[in-house]
Amino acid sequence: MLAELRGLTVHIDTGRWNETVLDAVDLLVPPGEITALLGESGCGKSMAAAALTGSLPDSAHTTGQVRIDGEPVREWRSLRGGTVGLLPQAGVTAFHSEDTVGAQLRALERRYNRWSVERACSAARYPAELTDLYPHQHSGGQIQRAALAAALLPEPPVLVADEPTASLDTATAYGVWATLRRYADAGAAVLAITHDIPMLASARIADRAVLMRAGKITATGRLSDLAALDDPYVRGFFQPTAPRP
Ligand SMILES: Nc1ncnc2c1ncn2[C@@H]1O[C@H](COP(=O)(O)OP(=O)(O)OP(=O)(O)O)[C@@H](O)[C@H]1O
């Protein structure tokens, strides 16, 4: 399934301040691939994820389209979870607070009848012995992996992972990237938002990378092609010692 943003502009107006957070963004997330979305903090990556997963804030005004397999999306409720899965940047927001993570994962297993809880937890590197804990009793990295398990359970053909490895040690992060790689190899369209460029580059995990700056897509290509660009903003991502302009 191909997911895409077409000419998507998102303007946020909270009444106290307003800002254009996405500016005519064209973004392709093809099946069978991991597309890495990179860019400096606050440039709009999570907003692009929210647009693809139908979870923009109420204060957002949009123009342009979100398309799944070429068809403009009008009714998000029918797509969420089963068709388009989201691993949110703050994993704890994937759960409600009143029930254990295990109970919530089992509810997803029953609802979608796709992956088992055991399979999803193992793929997400989430330790099964934690399932009796409530969401707030987890560490940041633990709840992030629980949220990945929750996102995988419905086996969505499109998976958006917002900083899937941000709170993880290197070995666990590598395991999570390997899972996302296998998930894409099985046919899913995966969009991974990340600052974990050294891991992406060394393990050749992503098929393509898309670079954002101030709400706009500024470059798209293989990671190695982007790394070779003679642009100070781009170089800042690949050579962390160089100050960004
Ligand atoms: N719920 C919200 N309501 C209003 N504005 C928001 C909301 N969430 C984010 N923004 C604004 O949208 C802009 C883009 O934020 P976004 O979260 O997409 O950045 P990001 O690239 O994902 O950053 P980071 O790498 O730090 O997570 C920021 O200026 C931010 O202040």
**The pTM is what?**
0.93
Check if 88 has its Cβ closer than 6 Å to any atom of ligand 1: no
Burial 195-216 (b: 16+ CB within 10 A, else e): bbbebbbeeebbbbbbbbbebe
| pLDDT tens digits for range 140-188 | 999 999 999 999 999 999 999 999 999 899 999 999 999 999 999 999 9
Task: Indicate which residue's Cα is closest to atom 19 of ligand 1.
Answer: 42
Task: Indicate which residue's Cα is closest to atom 28 of ligand 1.
Answer: 42
- Comparing 66-80, 141-155, 157-171, 213-227, which segment has the lowest mean pLDDT? 66-80
Which pair of structure tokens corresponds to residue 58? 């109420």
Terminal Cα distance for the chain, rounded = 37
Residue 20 bridge partners (DSSP): 11
Residue 157 and residue 83 in contact, taking contact as beta carbons nearer than 8 Å: yes
Q: How far does residue 206's CA lie from ligand 1's centre (Å)?
A: 23
Q: How far does residue 133's CA lie from ligand 1's centre (Å)?
A: 30
Task: List % helix, strand, coil for the chain (3-state, nearest 5).
Answer: 35, 30, 35
For residue 28, the Cα-to-chain-centroid distance in whole angstroms is: 14
Check if 202 has its Cβ closer than 6 Å to any atom of ligand 1: no
Does residue 230 register a pLDDT over 90?
A: no
| pLDDT tens digits for range 106-120 | 999 999 999 999 999
Whether this model's ipTM surpasses 0.90 comes out as yes
Closest CA to 195 of 123, 89, 92: 89
